[in-house]
Amino acid sequence: MVNASKPVSCTLVGDGMVGKTSIALSFIGKQAEENYVATVFENYAGGTSVAGEQYTVSIYDPAGKHDYASMRVCTYTDCEVILMCYNVSDRDSFDSIASFWLPEVRKFRGTKSTVILVATQTDTRNPDSDSSVSTEEGEKLAREINAGGYMETTTQNYDSVKTVFEKVVTCALKCRKKKKTLFKKISRR
């Protein structure tokens, strides 16, 4: 059932309480827990199919607290795609993408890392509120940080979660292919 090739790995980053763990849990088909406990470090694996092929996606879910920076470092080095999450109804979490998360990821992964910007809890979006972040703003930020994509998601809608991880797989495959062709080009000479 599952593609024998290397599983696609991704890391969820973003401020505390934007719902990173919830996305991961929802993707692997578990109900997001209601017990309100901060994550230290979790690792999940789920399957998804892209273009008719089954892929395993392994998800690292490190703590979003800035306090746990030292632990996140190791997850950065061995994942292929980074999912940067913010809560659409919490502008601070949106601001920290540019002011905290991007610099941190750039520092440990270099500038050429594949990043997907994910807007979470879109069901809570209130267009009248000041703190709410619009789709346009999200897309603009995604362009600015040169992200591989911008996705909106809510755990209320399983399909929106699934598309996020399908995007992860396509991004990772694109990245792998790039490396492969470069290698071929060199070795052919």
Partner 1 sequence: MDTDMSASGGGDPQPYINEDFPSDGNEDGQLFESTEEPEFEFDESGLELAADDDLARENSEGSAFQSGSITPDGLIDEDFEKELGTPSDGEEEDEGEFQDVAQHNILEVAGDDVYGRKVIIFSSCKLPSSEKLDHQRLFLYLKHTLDQYVENDYVIVYFHYGLTSKNKPKLSWLLQVYRELDRKYKKNLKALYLVHPTRFIKILWNVFKPFISAKFGRKVMYVNYLHELKEHLHFDQLVVPEPVLQYDAKQVKSNKPPYPYSGDRVDDSSGAQKTQQFGVTLSHIRQNYKCVIPPVVEISVEYLRVNALDVEGIFRRSANARTLKEVQKKFNQGLTVDFCTEGDVHIAAVILKTFLRELQEPLLTFDLYQPIVRLHNQDEGRQMVDVQRMLREELPEDNYIILKYILQFLTEIVAHCEENKMTSMNLSIVFGPNLLWPKGQASLSAMGYLNNFTRYLIDHYRDLFES
Site of interaction with partner 1 (CB under 8 A): 15-17, 36-41, 63-71, 73-74, 92-93, 95-96, 99-100, 104, 107
Q: For partner 1, give the closer residue by CB, 137 or 173.
A: 137
* Residue 179: CB minimum distance to partner 1, A: 19
Residues whose CB falls within 8 Å of the CB of residue 96, separated by 6 or more in sequence, listed in order: 14, 15, 86
Residue 166: which residues within 8 A CB-CB, separation 6 or more?
48, 50
Cβ closest to partner 1, residue 55 vs residue 94: 94
Helix 20-27 with 158-188: angle, nearest 10 deg: 90
**HEC states along 128-186?**
CCCCCCCHHHHHHHHHHCCCCEEEECCCCCHHHHHHHHHHHHHHHHHHHHHHHHHHHHH
User: Given the complex with partner 1, which of 50 and 102 has the nearer CB atom?
Assistant: 102
Beta carbon of residue 42, minimum distance to partner 1 (angstroms, whole number): 11
Least separation in angstroms between residue 91's CB and partner 1 is 8
Identify which of residues 53 and 144 has a Cβ nearer to partner 1 in the complex: 144
Residue 136 Cβ vs partner 1, minimum distance, rounded to whole Å: 21
